[in-house]
């Protein structure tokens, strides 16, 4: 899982060959909290986990994740698309 951005306790990851839409996983370093964020549009959007996914987040983590993705949207999209194209 390549890390596209790390700041403090937050890491933004992409899973090569992951499903559409283009999205990233925003986790805490210990992976206690995780949220998926759709970065394919003009603004980042929180994605609901699939039924078989066990993701845990808090309002604070979600807000921080969306802000980081918004602040770095173009860089994250370019980085993620390299891994999506590699599938």
For residue 86, pLDDT over 70 is answered with no
Distance CA 54, CA 58 (A): 14
- 7-30: string of b/e by CB count within 10 Å (b at 16+)? eeebbbbbeeebeeebbbbbbbee
For residue 11, pLDDT over 60 is answered with yes
Which pLDDT belongs to residue 87? 53
Reported as a single tens digit per residue, the pLDDT across 48-60 is 887 778 889 999 9
Q: Please, are residues 13 and 25 in contact by the beta-carbon 8 Å criterion?
A: yes
Name the average pLDDT for the chain. 92
Reported as a single tens digit per residue, the pLDDT across 25-50 is 999 999 999 999 999 999 999 998 87
Whether the link from the prior residue into 60 is cis, omega within 30° of 0, is no
């Amino acid at each position: 899982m390549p890390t596209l951005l790390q700041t403090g306790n937050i890491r933004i990851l992409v899973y090569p060959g992951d499903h559409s839409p283009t999205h990233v996983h925003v986790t805490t370093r210990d992976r206690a909290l995780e949220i998926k964020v759709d970065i394919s549009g003009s603004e980042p959007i929180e994605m609901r986990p699939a039924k078989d996914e066990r993701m845990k987040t808090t309002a604070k983590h979600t807000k921080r994740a969306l802000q980081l993705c918004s602040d770095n949207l173009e860089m994250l999209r370019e980085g993620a698309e390299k891994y999506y194209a590699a599938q």
